[in-house]
Chain A
Amino acid sequence: MQSRILIVEDDEAIANMIAMNLRVSGMTSVRFDDGRKAADSLPGDHAFDLALLDIMVPGCDGFELLKYLKPYDIPVIFLTARDDVSSKVQGLQDGAEDYMTKPFEVLELLVRIEKVLARTKKLNSVVRYAGLEVNFEEHTVRRDGAEIPLKPLEFDLFSVLLKNKNIAVSREDLLGLVWGMNYMGETRTVDVHIGQIRKKLGLSDRIKTIPKIGYRLEDEP
């Protein structure tokens, strides 16, 4: 099942950009440019897995809107140009899951969305992709019911690519996300592990090498 995201952002360009990225990574979104309209629509439609809220929106600001979202148990990430500590503290204290300031990195936004979805159990623990069945809880990959043995690091690397499907992730970001920020290894380590995954899972044509950036797992070969 695709995740459904609520976007409340009054700047059309930014709202559209976020929606485009969500669509590419396999999520759907609903957009509002006015906090009041978003709040009013909730009783009729509140099947959202997550809400991305700008704070300074017309009608009803993000902090206010958060209160309307709480009864429906929708996790919130604030996405705002306000980078003062008091706004951050208020946002997080009021119950937001995360707080990001503009301008932000698209990949970071996607990773944070995914983390919040995982934390709030709104992420499917089993994902099917190209004849593979990936179980994030069991850390297993099966083809036709038979488990393909992957080393823990290989599984983590594959799941990062899978969760950011259709988006190129740089070697540096992969190192950071899989090996951890403090890992001092070289980016060649990533290449070696990608090679292993391609061979073991038979995904040579789907894990694309993107020049000057890194790797991208694509839907079609």
Chain B
Amino acid sequence: MKLKTKILLICSAAFLVATLIGNFMIWRIYKNQLVDIAIQNTYTKAYSVTGDLTRLCEKLDGKIDRTSAEYFFKSEQDDYTVCVSGGEEYYNHTVFSAEYLNQQEGKEYFGDSTFQYCTFEWKQKPIVCVYSSITAGDNPINLYHVADISDTYSQIYKLGFEMLGISFSVIALTAVFLYFVIKHSMGPLGKLSETAKRIANGKYDERISYSRKDEIGLLADDFNKMASAVERHTQEIEESETRKTLLMGSLTHELKTPLTAISGYAQTLRHAKLSPEDTEEALYYIDKECGRLGRLSRKMMNLLELERDDTVIRMESVPVSRLFSAALYACSSTAVEKNITLTAKDGNENILCDVDLMTEVLVNLIDNAMKASAPGSEVLLYTEAAENAFYIIVRDYGSGIADADIERIFEPFYMADKSRSRKSGGAGLGLAISAAILRKHGYSMTVKSSIGHGTEMRIYISMTS
């Protein structure tokens, strides 16, 4: 059953029961009051008759007999009083015998008066009887005044039915009102569910527009927040997947070259009649290409390790100059070999990083810079202050990078100058690894370069992150 229907039914039922109970209580009070009034009226009648008879009795010096009593009641036109003295009925125009009336149980006194009353049912009619007595001479006179209070009861039942009718019409009206209230406040839930379905079907940019600030509004807000988070995460996963797929594609491509050489030489060794020099050369290339495959797989492992979300890096705060000296030390022999001067300056800032990984980034950048540089030139390392941040810059005065290549140099296996990089033993993964390391740290890298004037690799270190 729908929540809407459920709430409507439960509320209507509860309201109906409450109204019925309330009306019933009110009806009960009215009923008692009306019955009381009817009894009181009877009492008043009985009181006045008793009073009149008492005065007559005093006038006659207590000598009331059947004749005088009959005369009194007939002149009063009283058909509702039974007059009894010494067991003899002086007057009785009612349908009850004095004995029958006397036998009724549950007699009660009116307040502190000597009058008693009782109610009973006769032929399904409610009857009130008021008992009073007068002292007249030797025998007391007992008076029984009866009254039929059916009218009062029919009035009471009529009232009851009217109240019941009012109750049901109120319930009907309330139910209609409730229906609209519920529909109005539950409506957005339907929208919520529709949107959730669309999001589940892959439309991650769907949102709910709902401006009211009630619970459903809050729910809609939370829902939208959740949808945004899902969208963001999905996007991140998709991006990372795309990166990995591209990486895998490039990797298979990149594996084919050394594999072709190795299998080609192996086949040549098996099938061809080779001179000892050729045999030696074939073996040399097989060995060399195997080394290249090994380096490639190690670097790939590095990169994949860095791309994994659960890889934790050990952050510590160190002066940049320490990274500079570590990187320069690692690159010094190559620099001497290529006759390139490596210079580091500044670097007083502290950087929060994993020292080994960040040194690797610098070594990669210096390595690239040296590959692009002509012998005798210089590679510079320095820092530059920025607002709440600083840059670590690796600058060379080498060949520079063409604009078309700049966007792609961070892609794995992309080499701006393929043949030169290959000859110098590069796999095309250095910058991709560096970018992955920086991404892991939350830092970023930009490139400024012009052909013939050299390249500036700028690592942006934010101090707030």
Contacts and interface: CB of A to CB of B under 8 A. Distances in A.
Interface string B270-309: 1111100010011001001100000000000000000000
Contacts of A107: 267, 271
B257 A17 contact: no
Given A11-B261, A13-B258, A216 B271 contact: yes
A11 B282 contact: no
A126 interface: no
9 contacts: A10-B418, A13-B258, A24-B273, A24-B278, A103-B263, A104-B260, A106-B264, A168-B271, A210-B271
Contact of A14 (B261, B270, B417): B261
Contacts, number: 89
A47 interface: no
A149 to B, nearest CB: 29
Interface in A99-142: 102-107
A102 B260 contact: yes
Interface string B246-275: 000000010011111101110110111110
A19 B267 CA distance: 14
B213 interface: no
A24 B272 contact: yes
A208 B423 CA distance: 39
Contacts of A201: none
A14 B422 contact: no
A102 B419 contact: no
A103 B252 CA distance: 11
Smallest CB-CB A-B distances: 10 pairs: A13-B261, A103-B260, A168-B271, A102-B260, A81-B256, A17-B264, A106-B267, A13-B285, A24-B272, A102-B256
Contacts of B417: 58
A166 B273 contact: yes
Nearest to B415: A58
A18 B265 CA distance: 9
Interface of B: 253, 256-261, 263-265, 267-268, 270-274, 278, 281-282, 285, 288-289, 417-419, 422-423
A34 B422 CA distance: 13
Contacts of A105: 267
B272 A10 contact: no
Given A10-B422, A13-B261, A20 B278 contact: yes
Given A33-B419, A167-B272, 8 more contacts: A11-B260, A18-B264, A20-B274, A103-B263, A104-B264, A106-B267, A167-B273, A169-B271
Nearest to A168: B271
Given A11-B261, A17-B264, A213 B418 contact: no
A17 B282 contact: yes
Interface in A52-68: 56-58
Chain B contact surface mostly: helix
A19 to B, nearest CB: 10
Contacts of A25: 272
A168 B273 CA distance: 8
B266 to A, nearest CB: 9
A12 B260 CA distance: 12
B272 A58 contact: no
A21 B261 contact: no
A220 B393 CA distance: 64
A12 B285 CA distance: 9
Nearest to A15: B261
A21 B261 CA distance: 12
Interface in A204-221: 210, 213, 216, 218
A2 interface: no
A187 interface: no
B257 A21 contact: no
Nearest to B258: A13
B219 to A, nearest CB: 50
A90 interface: no
Nearest to B254: A81
Interface string A31-65: 00110000000000000000000001110000000
